[in-house]
Chain A
């Protein structure tokens, strides 16, 4: 089936630094979603992207839907300690095959 790859797998950054992570697929998706999961909790939707080339911001978060429809990236600016968690990307084709990536584990050092 379809699979998503996320990179990096994990990252350690200093508080205040910017973060960039991405998600790639061998096949096309019509929707890209970014979620954050804190330990012991369910994923929380951060940003949803519905159109190729779309660039959307949510506070310090910015995500883009790649033009090829096979990738997406998420940037976090000026990281803070509460940004710690696992970031999952997900691709969807009109509800027919919702696929999650393996996640990027972010650690923020004070």
Chain B
């Protein structure tokens, strides 16, 4: 099946720093990638949809200046959490779609902001 990787798998940072998370589709080209956030014992919350070569589409309530998304190639999308604060601590998961009807998820990145 399709493989999606994320890096890093976990990160601890100080408040005020920026953190970049990479999402790669390893064996297929992903025209669209999605970024989700998941709090403990909750479902996945879509943050933004990222299309290669164009600006990301953010869900309501998600600050685009805080969560910068870049989809520079068909196999790589990055999410940068700028000026991270403790409330940004969460599990961030990306998914990639090689076609319109299925999404394959990465293993997630756990962010802890101290």
A contact residues vs B (CB 8 Å cutoff): 30-31, 33, 35, 40-45, 48, 50, 88, 90, 92, 94-95, 98, 100-103
**How many whole Å from B11's CB to the nearest CB in chain A?**
14
Chain B 75-107 residues near chain A, CB threshold 8 A: 91, 93, 95, 97, 99-107
- Measured between beta carbons, the chain A residues less than 8 angstroms from B93 are 42-43
User: Which has the most chain A C-beta neighbours within 10 Å: B100, B101, B107?
Assistant: B101
Q: Are B100 and A94 interface neighbours, CB within 8 A?
A: yes
- Measured between beta carbons, the chain A residues less than 8 angstroms from B99 are 95
Q: How far is the CA of A75 from the CA of B55 in the complex (A)?
A: 40
Residue in chain B with minimal CB distance to A50: B101
- How many B residues have CB within 8 A of the partner chain? 24
Cross-interface CB contact of B101 among A41, A92, A102, cutoff 8 Å: A92
Known contacts A50-B101, A94-B101, A95-B32: does B108 contact A41 (CB below 8 Å)?
A: yes
Number of A-B contacts (CB under 8 A): 54
Q: Are A88 and B102 interface neighbours, CB within 8 A?
A: no
**How many whole Å from B71's CB to the nearest CB in chain A?**
15
A interface SS class:
loop
B1 at the interface (CB under 8 A from A): yes
Cross-interface CB contact of A98 among B103, B106, B110, cutoff 8 Å: B103
Q: Are B100 and A45 interface neighbours, CB within 8 A?
A: no
Q: Are B105 and A44 interface neighbours, CB within 8 A?
A: yes
Contact flags (1/0) for B4-46 with A, using CB distance below 8 Å? 1010000000000000000000000000101000000011101
